[in-house]
């Protein structure tokens, strides 16, 4: 539900009031002499640094736009997503404006129609309010009715960056850090299961859409404005996203054919096309062929996301059953190594 408290008719603060408010958070020389006030965000390219966006009568001082990698292209600007200061209380917000985008995603022989939906994200923000594993915020409308999402900023780092810093090498990481990471991952899957039970999807599950909140240490899902459709499996795209995240975590990063070509030719020669990722055919999923100490129960889960898979997960319940079994075996293996 969109929280539209008569946003169209809300009174805009005056120039003097705005400058006084900005002066609380910026040094005097940085306070604009004239503040550009925006109530219609339809052309988000015109929403610039130091502008003030007024939504439902509340002013937000715009800072920089956000960036995000996508389709293996790093650091693409997201001009419709701005970092901002709430001038009422000084809190840092992420303001997401309306941006229309549609594309097809292919997973094996399955085609998913994907579309960016501000309405869907607004709906999920209401659903997950108070849930510890999701970003929080609310939605409102600008003066022309665009659905704007105002997100509480999460201080922390994304899961992919964190994982890359753990352990001296893969074996050290796997035995000393991965068991804890795996428990956190299961909690994240349970959070996605919560969405699915309510008939909702995340829509864009990726390792950089998980942030470890430094305030409490919990991992939290962000960015759920993508929606997708598939006739056979409503949640299939989410499930493949969860699989990709797990393969990344188990491998301490993507284990690619390029990496093996430079560092482990013998392992590369053992691989077949069936051992590779069903979406990214240069990424290894059958990690046991690279790291033989990976337990069979964990590798069994990974292989559901390989090009050679004949059976896929239909829902998060099936995935969680196998994850919990793998966790139990992982703990046994971890304990036996410690005893040695």
Q: DSSP letter string over 68-119?
A: EEETTEEEEEEEEEEEEEETTT--EEEEE-----EEEEEETTEEEEEEE-HH
- 3-state class (DSSP) for residue 284: strand
Give the whole-angstrom CA distance, residue 296 versus residue 85: 49
Q: Crossing angle, helix 316-339 and helix 236-251, to 10 degrees?
A: 10
Q: How far apart are the first and last CA of the chain?
A: 56
**In this predicted structure, what is the pLDDT of residue 77?**
86
**In this predicted structure, what is the pLDDT of residue 74?**
56
Does any domain span residue 108? no
Give the whole-angstrom CA distance, residue 1 versus residue 127: 9
Q: Count up the domains in the chain and report the number.
A: 2
Does any domain span residue 313? yes
**In this predicted structure, what is the pLDDT of residue 75?**
67
Q: Are residues 220 and 72 both part of a single domain?
A: no
**In this predicted structure, what is the pLDDT of residue 318?**
98
Structure tokens at 183: 């428990």
Q: Are residues 194 and 330 both part of a single domain?
A: yes
- Residue 244, domain CATH: 1.10.510.10
Query: What strands, in cross-sheet order, belong to the sheet with 37-38?
Result: 37-38, 52-55, 58-70, 73-86, 92-96, 147-152, 137-141
Structure tokens at 141: 């409308």
Q: Are residues 162 and 81 both part of a single domain?
A: no
Q: Give mean pLDDT in consecutive 10-residue pieces for the chain, a chain of 340 residues.
A: 51 88 96 96 96 97 82 70 97 96 77 90 98 98 98 96 96 96 98 98 95 96 90 85 98 96 94 94 96 97 96 96 94 47
Q: Are residues 77 and 224 both part of a single domain?
A: no
Pairing status of strand 37-38 against strand 52-55: parallel
The answer, as to whether pTM is greater than 0.85, is: yes
**In this predicted structure, what is the pLDDT of residue 329?**
87
The parent domain of residue 203 ranges over 156-339
């Amino acid at each position: 539900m969109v929280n539209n408290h008569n946003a169209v008719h809300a009174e805009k603060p005056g120039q003097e009031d705005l400058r006084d408010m900005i002066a609380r958070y910026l040094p005097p020389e940085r306070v604009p002499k004239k503040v550009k006030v925006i109530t219609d965000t339809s052309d988000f390219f015109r929403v610039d640094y130091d502008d003030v966006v007024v939504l439902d009568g509340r002013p937000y001082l715009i800072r920089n736009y956000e960036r995000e990698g996508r389709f293996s292209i790093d650091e693409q600007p997201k001009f419709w997503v701005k970092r901002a200061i709430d001038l009422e209380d000084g809190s840092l917000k992420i303001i997401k404006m309306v941006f229309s985008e549609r594309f097809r995603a292919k997973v094996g022989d399955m085609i998913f129609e994907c579309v960016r939906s501000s309405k869907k994200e607004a709906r999920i923000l209401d659903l997950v309010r108070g849930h510890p594993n999701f970003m929080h915020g609310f939605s409102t409308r600008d003066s022309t009715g665009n659905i704007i999402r105002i997100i509480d900023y999460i201080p922390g780092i994304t899961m992919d960056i964190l994982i890359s810093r753990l352990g001296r090498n893969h074996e050290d990481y796997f035995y000393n850090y991965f068991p804890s990471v795996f428990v956190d991952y299961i909690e994240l899957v349970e959070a996605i299961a919560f969405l699915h039970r309510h008939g909702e999807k995340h829509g864009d599950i990726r390792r950089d859409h998980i942030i470890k909140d430094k305030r409490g240490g919990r991992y939290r899902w962000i960015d759920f404005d993508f929606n997708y459709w598939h006739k056979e499996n409503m949640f299939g795209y989410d499930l493949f996203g969860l699989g990709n995240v797990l393969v990344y975590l188990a491998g301490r990063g993507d284990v690619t054919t390029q990496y093996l070509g430079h560092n482990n030719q013998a392992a590369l020669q053992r691989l077949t096309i069936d051992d590779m990722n069903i979406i990214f055919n240069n990424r290894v999923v059958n990690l046991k062929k690279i790291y033989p100490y990976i337990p069979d129960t964990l590798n069994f889960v990974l292989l559901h996301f390989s090009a050679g898979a004949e059976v896929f997960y239909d829902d998060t319940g099936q995935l969680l059953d196998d994850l919990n079994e793998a966790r139990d075996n992982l703990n046994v293996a971890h304990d036996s190594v410690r005893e040695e």
